[in-house]
Amino acid sequence: MKSVKYLILFFIATASLLSVSCKKDNKCEAGSGGSLILLAKLKHHGAVIINDSLRPDTVWIKYNVQDWSGAPSGADAMFIGEYPEDHVHISGLKCGDYYLYASGWDTSSPGGEVVRGGRPYSTEQTSGEIPVDIAVTE
């Protein structure tokens, strides 16, 4: 009877150690150094903002977060669009969680105006191009 008691305690202790020592295998750690490209399109009231030659669209990115109240302060990377494209290439990423904060110049309004906005983005894709819309406002 005593040996059964020790055997049960042994199994409980072993199960406890195994459950504590197991780690989630997270293969998606956001950051640079990957083969993924995001094609970020800034949209103001549903219309795509074209990169301006003097004030190109800019996207700041923060790795491994889904919220970024201090954007763009503390950005992990910054990407600048090229005139006259309608998107910003965000290249060299890995899969994972990101927050994208964007600023652009909307030339469709008289005199133009600065528009800004941001959004969280998550992906498990490790390569290729993914289009991503970022809603921006005055």
Domain ranges, residue 88: 32-136
Residue 20: predicted pLDDT: 45
Count of domains in the chain?
1
Under a CB-based contact definition with an 8 Å cutoff, are residues 81 and 136 in contact?
A: no
Q: How many C-beta neighbours within 10 Å does residue 16 have? A: 10
Q: What is the pLDDT of residue 8?
A: 56
* Model confidence band, residue 22 (pLDDT cutoffs 50, 70, 90): low
Q: Encode pLDDT of 53-87 as tens digits.
A: 999 999 999 999 999 999 999 999 999 999 999 99
Distances in Å between the Cα of 46 and the Cα atoms of 17, 88, 105, 134, 137 are 54, 17, 15, 10, 10
Domain annotation covers residue 18: no
The answer to the question of residue 24 being in a domain is no
Residue 58 inside a domain? The answer is yes
The rounded mean pLDDT for the chain is 88
Each residue of 96-115: pLDDT tens digit?
Answer: 999 999 999 999 988 899 99
Kindly state whether residue 111 falls inside one of the protein's structural domains.
Answer: yes
Question: What's 73's domain CATH number?
Answer: 2.60.40.10
Tokens read off for 119: 């959004």
